[in-house]
Structure 1
Amino acid sequence: IKGAVEDYQIKAVPSYVKKDLKTGDLTLGDSYHPFESLPTSHSGMAIKFYAVNVANSNPYISLNASVKILQGHNVYGGESVLNLASEMLNLLNEVYPAFYSCLNIRGATIAKIDSTFSVSLPSDLLVQPCLRFLSNIGDGHRKSDTQRDFYNTVYFGGKTSRYGGAKIYGKGHELKEEITKLQKSAKLGNTQSINKLKVLNPALVDWSKTLLRFESTTKARQLKRLLYPVNLWDFINYQRDEDKDVLTRLWRYWFDPILSILKGDIMPDIDDSEVYDLCKSNLMSYTKSGKVSYTKANNVYNFYILLKRDGYVAVKSRYARRTFDENVQNLTSLGYSKSVLQNLSLDTVKTVPVSEIVKMDFTKQFPDEYTPVISEHIYKFAKYLNGGTIEFNKFHNLYDLDGNLLPQRKSTT
């Protein structure tokens, strides 16, 4: 693409406007395309054309959307990348056909891709306590990012990471805030808001109330490191021909290290005397003369008391790394998970039924009656796939013989 932004009949604004105070003449800076949301009957798709000052690449357009543009919500949804990509590209073509005709569609790449799983807790009252508990766990590069630890979201990974990250949040709270905004807009007569509220029905809201959402974001740089394709069509072919569960694998890359911390026989109601008894019975040793020694047991118990009094992070800063890790390992060997040790100094250990977190069931991702919405534009993009057509037997049961997307099992793209 060459030339000015407005040459392609796409929305353009000047980078600056300067007025001559004497003559009143206006001087306009170079045009650029601002962030824009292309409307659909359900939701919008964010787009941004990077036409000027683009480093290390040709000018390009960025598209960002979720399954909302297909069904009006993303409380649950399918996992077909082709399905969502087809809807996104077709929308761009409909709004800006002249601009679309200049694009190298075959060269489209994935900048980032999200994959989510949700778990339903026994009560919506447990969502916030569980988030507070999870905000204190971390392991290696998956440490919780407390700088962005908002009321309803716990982040793992830096905000500016070029590889991606993960977050956990309460879906019900997020949906409630969205509905509140839509209701205000609907009262002013906004037709799109009125239509959106029809989709966000009481049954959907009720389903979302107890959901704890686990969402991963994998960026292009990390896709390359994991040896996955970054070209959009190559990735779709890979999902079709090689691994229909590729989004699940990306999700597990980010969350397995986090969830593994929760493993173990967790006892939220910890009694100090019981801890000491466990230390004595499991960590005792014998001297050369054959006498029982409780030196190690006493040291580990004292370490436990320090964790409870001062907190995991503070104690870790005062110990040599090897000594600290050995003490933690000794306590986990007694049945106390690392996640509880990281929360010992907080009230959450007593108020959160941590066993419910350990039992998290990710198999039930949507109601039994749910059928994913299929983009009617899929076949327009078959020419970009290997072979030039959609071969159903190679889609690993993603589609039936009539081209209908079969019920999806796990994540929301």
Structure 2
Amino acid sequence: MIDLIRMSIPFNEDFCSGDATESHGLVDLQVCQWNGAKLESGEVEYEPDGSVTVSRLRHPFESIPSSNSSLSFKIYSGGLNYWPHIELKASPAKLLQGHNVYGTCDVEKCIFALVQAFNVGMPNLTTMLDWHLAEIQHIDVTFTAQMESQSQGRQAIAALKNISSGQTRSSKNSHATTCYFGVNSQGKKSSRHKQLKIYLKGAELEHQINELLQKVKNSNIPLYKKQLDIMQSSEVRGFAENALRFEASVLSRMLQRLGIPRLVSEFIDYAKSYEGCLIEALWTEAFKDVFAALGNEKMTVFDDEDILNKLKIEFGKVSEKTGNTSYAKANRLFRFYRSFKNEGYEEVKRTTAKNTFHDNMRQLCLVVSKAHLQNLKGIASNVVPMLRVINVDFSKQHPASYVEPEHLCDQISLRAVS
């Protein structure tokens, strides 16, 4: 699916000063404000007579609400080394259907969703732009592997953090549910061609739902309630629950390297004439080094989700200050339990300090019998090739009941009629 599009549209020369042939010029931000943009000032001066002078005008990223989600845009006013333009950024999946757990690979439909949302939200500002020169700057292409459980998904993330192949190396970070490639240890992008992100979609969706619950509580904006209803649906939540998401941010330099046009009109035509699915091809190219490495890697699979859940119930601790529940002790005991599966009872007992071993055993046996632990021999039957565990099936990227969303312009027309 297409998860995000970032595109730039230059201003028409009639609204700019400068030389378009030399790619430098300026647009009058005040004219942009008259046409609907909300500006902010870097400097405000109050005169004794009560008048106010503002200067150093700039345009921050501004959000345009649409029927299912919102679109962000920003005006870049120009300078000596670039032509003034507007940047649009949004998830077409969210614009078309209210969530991005799954979605469409239709390039034209996704691009037109951004264009339509901007044209409806900023009807005057859009007339100042040269749309035939619009370019793709960045496109996120995403596909999902369904894991057997959330626990197995976290194990896969931990294993993926050790992967490196060719020019693709994982970035060390502290997120238990996310793994990055093409991002340095400070969280900054280290590649101008692509960035890769592998994460548990269920955890991200629950975070988004919690944020929306707070927004619904604090405001009466109908859009938030609509988004919340969509995200909380059993179909969306069910698909996201055990989903391991592989997201590739394909930047303009990668498109250039692959000989793919960046002009929006040409990009759409290229996708239409492409033999197969262009989005699948871009994703496969972006992740080829990672999956090449996976072919030689194995991981230990523990499927005792029930034991982990029981440990969380038994040892979860609610903070009096924040109200959040900590599962640090439960996770520590679960790692102790997994050591039995990996090494066997006798080996764990032999290599663990006596007091530590007995303390952990006493607590662990509240949810699992000692006889079960003593029968774990540490055999390697739970060590399997990672490719067997992480299987991205292009034919199973949405629920069986999924129906392609209508074009955004058609959705708006239908709502106007109804």
Alignment TM class, shorter chain as reference: 0.5 to 0.7
Give, in angstroms, the shift of residue 371 of structure 1.
0.9
Which of 48, 51, 57 pairs up with 2:82? 57
Give, in angstroms, the shift of residue 138 of structure 1.
1.1
Which of 98, 103, 109 pairs up with 1:72? 98
Give, in angstroms, the shift of residue 376 of structure 1.
4.7
Preserved CA contact (<8 Å) 1:50 1:59: yes
Preserved CA contact (<8 Å) 1:14 1:28: no
Q: State the AA in 1 paired with 2:30.
A: E
How does the TM-score come out when normalised to structure 2? 0.66
Q: State the AA in 2 paired with 1:216.
A: A
Partner in structure 2 of residue 111 of structure 1: 137
> Does residue 32 of structure 1 match 2:58?
yes
CA 1:220/1:361 → structure 2, altered by over 3 Å: closer, same or farther? closer
Q: Distance in 2 between matches of 1:249 and 1:116?
A: 11
- The structure with the greater share of residues assigned to strand is 2
- Residue 139 of structure 2 aligns to a residue in which SS? strand
Which of 222, 234, 241 pairs up with 1:191? 222
Q: State the AA in 1 paired with 2:270.
A: Y
CA 1:98/1:22 → structure 2, altered by over 3 Å: closer, same or farther? closer
Give, in angstroms, the shift of residue 21 of structure 1.
8.0
Preserved CA contact (<8 Å) 1:76 1:366: yes
Task: Indicate the larger mover: 4-13 or 74-83.
Answer: 4-13
Alignment: residue pair count? 299
How does the TM-score come out when normalised to structure 1? 0.67
Task: In structure 2, list runs of 5 or more residues that go unmatched.
Answer: 1-14, 17-26, 302-378, 411-418
- Residue 124 of structure 2 aligns to a residue in which SS? helix
> Does residue 150 of structure 1 match 2:150?
no
Residues 134-192 of structure 1: CA deviation (Å, up to 9, x unaligned):
1111113210122x553322110133332121110000000000001111121233322
Which of 202, 206, 217 pairs up with 2:238? 206
- Residue 399 of structure 2 aligns to a residue in which SS? coil
Partner in structure 1 of residue 251 of structure 2: 219
Residues 336-377 of structure 1: CA deviation (Å, up to 9, x unaligned):
xxxxxxxxxxxxx98986546434142311111101102153
Give, in angstroms, the shift of residue 266 of structure 1.
3.5
Task: In structure 1, list runs of 5 or more residues that go unmatched.
Answer: 270-348, 379-413
> Does residue 171 of structure 1 match 2:201?
yes
Partner in structure 1 of residue 156 of structure 2: 130
Q: Distance in 2 between matches of 1:244 and 1:6?
A: 46
> Does residue 236 of structure 1 match 2:262?
no
Q: Distance in 2 between matches of 1:30 and 1:49?
A: 14
Percent identity between matched residues is 28
- Residue 180 of structure 2 aligns to a residue in which SS? strand
Give, in angstroms, the shift of residue 226 of structure 1.
1.1
- Residue 83 of structure 2 aligns to a residue in which SS? coil
Q: Distance in 2 between matches of 1:185 and 1:352?
A: 44
> Does residue 7 of structure 1 match 2:31?
yes
CA 1:351/1:101 → structure 2, altered by over 3 Å: closer, same or farther? farther
Q: Distance in 1 between matches of 2:130 and 2:291?
A: 41
Superposition CA RMSD, Å: 2.7
Residues 103-160 of structure 1: CA deviation (Å, up to 9, x unaligned):
11111100011111100001122121211111111113210122x5533221101333
